[in-house]
Structure 1
Amino acid sequence: MKIKDVETYIVGNSWKNWLFVILRTDDGLYGIGEGTLNGFAKTVEAAIHELKHLYIGMSVFDVETVSLKMIRDVYSDGGQIQGSALAAIETACWDIIGKITGQPLYKLLGGRCHEKLRCYANGWYRGPRTAENFYEKAKDVAARGYTALKFDPFGSAWRTVEPDDFRLSLDIIAAVRDAIGPDVDILIEGHNRFSVHTALQFAEAMAPYKPAWFEAPVPPQNISSLVEVARRSPVPIACGEDFYCREQFAELLKANAVHIIQLEPQFLGISASKQICGMVHAHNGVTAPHSAQGPVCSVVCAHLNMATPNFYMHEIFDEFNEPWEEHILTPPLRVNYGYIELSDRPGLGVDINLEEVHKHPYHPGNWLPLFRQGWEKREQNH
């Protein structure tokens, strides 16, 4: 069962262009994957085709060797771009393996560890950055059955903030807590915005509202800064979505300071992601994979989470995206009152609807400008 060819498709979503692949074998089977990366859809697409001389002709079962050839053998550090290209191909291989064996992906990764997956909502607060907007939208999300909500209250902040902006951020956090009551978790998204000092100021100020975590409060490149914030913060710190290799996680975990790890299968591939879940397990930590790319990535994370004993929460962006997204995959991934239950369909258990894909072409303005005023509105950037 050898890889014969690869096809790529870009879907134009107003906040992020999604990149999908269809990998075909010499026996007529195919699998699907995703290589979405904010701002780099065409770049990752080019990498998938430029590197295909390394994986065409390989067995779909040799996923570890596919990874070595696409990462190690190139002998260049292409970071998230190279990782996204690998993940797209490797995911499609796993999808085909599931179809050949008649098993869902999660059973190939170790089997069912949970009856269902607890989800947290993200992307629900589209609109103006006001406490009133966050309050009303948070009430709606909680009414849908979600027991956890994530949001970024910080606007376009970078490193430091003015006093009035600091107060507005805290007012938004307070409004969400007031809207949903004490029994729903709030998760504060930092988007790598702050210096260590500012991050700790915010951590102290938000602590009375009892966030379940403060995510990515400082940039990921200096792991020592992440560790310093984690050790001094009264709020648990979560991070890891920016990392694209095992070594970065090893460096973070050895400090024994961060215990909520948000690995990104989109940058790592499924094989490495499973191994990193085991590394986190060995450090008495839990996993909450980043799942805010496209719909295939959401399905991949669901399978990984189902097979991970130390899984914590599953991120859901899809329900708060464009309404046509539910037609991109057949059948779509559904959230039932805040939880996901996976089927036993083989492989990923979904397919790409190319008819719907072709309705939404690529646009260079489809990206998320997190350091621009008003990014929360998620409007196309012309």
Structure 2
Amino acid sequence: MKISSVETFILGERQLLVRIGTDAGLAGWGDATLEHRVGTVAAAIREMSGLLLGKDPLPVTDHWNRLMRSGFYRGGAVLSSAVAGLDQALWDLRGRHYEAPIHVLLGGPVRERVRLYTHTWGSPGQTGNPERARELAERGYTLVKASIAGPVDFLARPEHVARFVADLEALREAVGPGADFAIDLHGRVSVPHARRLADAVAHTAPAFLEEPLRPEHSRQLERVTAATTVPIAVGERLFSREEFLPVLQAGIAIAQPDLSHAGGITECFRIATLAESFDVQIAPHCPLGPVALAACVQLDLAVPNFYAQEHIIDLGSAASDDLSILTDPGVLVARDGHIERPTGPGLGIDIDEELVRQRAEEVGIPHGNPAWDYPDGSFAEW
């Protein structure tokens, strides 16, 4: 069996699918989405495809090494996302060849279902919507998440801190003591302000505070973890074991690698193993579509130190538009806040290839993230 094609399909600014075809008729799929940079990653995949065409797809680790390292310049969001999508597709192919789910090839399941969490959203200026949080808890979710309202000043005024505390108290009341909520600080917060906020909300017992600092300030993270008993989670903008090692050493509680950014299943399995040595659990970042989520679920089933799986797409029923590219959407439908262990080969899902080809778009100019400014006109982190 030889690789005969490497194709990419842009389905929007937040969905770039990869298909690796073979001369044996088998194909594997992956998600290489780098949000709002899908055209850039698609170009990188095209440039990398020469390392795969005509090769046996089964030695996934060897392919990963060559894709990640043979270009001499390596790492970063774009190249790591390109490798991630290709790696997922290679694992999917390997699973289909051996007629086994990826988690079985990784050593077998250590659990029978995957705990999910999703977002409570919230109106402008609000950290989370208590009504949605309550609804999710009633649907069986034991963990929900909200993002801090922004922009956030270097040291926010007392009125803003008071609003943040009140919002978290409302979330705690909404979900009750039997569920958890997490707060995403989204890299919007300075070291001193992160410490202040952690002190202010510790009484609400959040499950974790996510990404208090920008990733370029990871070396400062220990100043936050050492100052609070609230667990700290980071990782969605870290792309390798080498980048995770300092934050693990800094005392985080939850590592959040993104399987579509951090080198795919191959590297994220290694990140999870490294995290386990630090008594850290993983909660893979996944603000993407069903292919990326399916890859996460396969990893979640195989690693002992799994905590919870993020999703933002609608998993409420098989009729969800977000699952429409799957021929059997029911595989990813949430039941009591969990996804049951998929037993199909590879990623455990099947793609409606004809529909994907119909929906594929040309590379356009992306809208990108919201553009925020402070009152003085200077740039503010989104």
What TM-score, normalized by structure 1, do the two folds share?
Answer: 0.90
Secondary structure of the structure 1 residue equivalent to 2:18 = strand
Residues 160 and 57 from structure 1, CA distance in 2 versus in 1: closer, same or farther, beyond 3 angstroms?
farther
Q: What is the deviation of 1:28?
A: 1.6
State the identity %.
Answer: 34
Residues 187 and 98 from structure 1, CA distance in 2 versus in 1: closer, same or farther, beyond 3 angstroms?
same
Select the residue among 252, 261, 270 that pairs with 2:265: 270
Q: What's the RMSD between the two structures over aligned residues? A: 2.2
Residues 247 and 214 from structure 1, CA distance in 2 versus in 1: closer, same or farther, beyond 3 angstroms?
same
Contact 2:148 2:186 in 1 (8 A): no
Aligned positions, number: 367
Secondary structure of the structure 2 residue equivalent to 1:229 = helix
Contact 1:157 1:371 in 2 (8 A): no
Q: Which structure has more RCO (C-alpha within 8 Å, separation ≥ 6)?
A: 1
Q: What is the deviation of 1:169?
A: 2.2
Q: 1:338-377 alignment to 2 at 5 Å?
A: 338-357=337-356, 358-359=358-359, 361=361, 364-365=365-366, 367-369=368-370, 371=372
Please say if 1:72 is aligned against 2:69.
Answer: yes
- CA displacement, residues 204-252 of structure 1 (integer Å, 9 cap, x when unaligned): 1111110010010011223221122111122110111211111112232
What stretches of structure 2 of length at least 5 have no aligned partner? 375-382
Residues 18 and 114 from structure 1, CA distance in 2 versus in 1: closer, same or farther, beyond 3 angstroms?
same
Moved beyond 6 Å, runs of 4+: none
| Distance in 1, Cα, partners of 2:54 & 2:355 | 30
Q: Pick which of 52-61 and 198-207 moved more.
A: 52-61
Secondary structure of the structure 1 residue equivalent to 2:15 = strand
Contact 1:220 1:226 in 2 (8 A): no
Aligned match of 1:167? 162
Select the residue among 249, 255, 264 that pairs with 1:261: 255
Select the residue among 203, 208, 213 that pairs with 2:203: 208
- CA displacement, residues 318-370 of structure 1 (integer Å, 9 cap, x when unaligned): 22799521212232211101111122111112122345443474664554437
Aligned match of 2:378? none
Please say if 1:185 is aligned against 2:174.
Answer: no
Residues 329 and 203 from structure 1, CA distance in 2 versus in 1: closer, same or farther, beyond 3 angstroms?
same
Contact 1:153 1:172 in 2 (8 A): no
Q: What is the deviation of 1:372?
A: 6.8
Residues 25 and 126 from structure 1, CA distance in 2 versus in 1: closer, same or farther, beyond 3 angstroms?
farther
| Distance in 2, Cα, partners of 1:116 & 1:320 | 15
Contact 2:315 2:333 in 1 (8 A): no
Q: What is the deviation of 1:105?
A: 0.9
Residues 181 and 114 from structure 1, CA distance in 2 versus in 1: closer, same or farther, beyond 3 angstroms?
same
| Distance in 2, Cα, partners of 1:144 & 1:263 | 27
What TM-score, normalized by structure 2, do the two folds share?
Answer: 0.90
Aligned match of 2:377? none
Please say if 1:243 is aligned against 2:242.
Answer: no
Contact 2:58 2:94 in 1 (8 A): yes
Contact 1:291 1:317 in 2 (8 A): yes
- CA displacement, residues 176-211 of structure 1 (integer Å, 9 cap, x when unaligned): 112111211010101111110011111111111100
Contact 2:32 2:85 in 1 (8 A): yes
